[in-house]
Structure 1
């Protein structure tokens, strides 16, 4: 069954010209936002680390990723939080403590990208 989005790429006329032998086209446009998000520096690694290790503090992520730019890591964590993929939890302690963990949506994404990562590892 064809999956049609709100874009013109999946309209019946576009599908007929794009794939003449196939009467149903699949719209890949919804994946564009996901690809844009996970292709940013550290994003995929952050999701994978949190999936493998559970909640982590900023310093733990920074050490594991061998970060060259703390501001870039902070920005990426903020973006992934805004996207609803990770959760930032602060504890009312002295000194302050903050942990990052996957949201249910982030865990689902992490589970779906694992086969891709396994395939990529096999291709090396």
Structure 2
């Protein structure tokens, strides 16, 4: 069974909205945009730094949102093999908006 290929519709000023359909469910969740903003404003952040910046977020919610955003390829999780363990989060090209739409139309 082959995947149906979608054709990108380019809008005025080369704005492509085709990828939005797949991530609206994630972005509309509480804290998701604030997490993206915090990481984007700081280039890279560790979990504890994110938790401090987002003062009232619960650890479970933060962990859940980070996993969802990583699975959607909006953020990148970079673990370092050291003691104590260290993980940094940064935006992907898709997450920071530098990736061109679909097939670089």
TM-score by shorter chain over 0.5: yes
Paired with 1:106 and 1:98, the residues of 2 have a C-alpha distance of 18
* Unaligned ranges ≥5, structure 1: 7-27, 110-124
Q: Which has the larger radius of gyration?
A: 1
| Aligned alpha-carbon RMSD (Å) | 2.0
The farther-off stretch of 28-37 and 59-68 is 28-37
Q: TM-score, normalised by structure 2?
A: 0.70
Q: Which has a greater percent of strand?
A: 2
Q: Is 2:102 aligned against 1:107? A: no
Query: 1:74 matched to which residue of 2?
Result: 63
Ranges of 4+ aligned residues in structure 1 off by more than 2 Å: 28-35
Report 1:21-32 matches (<5 A).
31-32=20-21
Give the length in aligned residue pairs. 84
Q: Is 2:68 aligned against 1:61? A: no
* Unaligned ranges ≥5, structure 2: 1-5, 8-16, 99-105
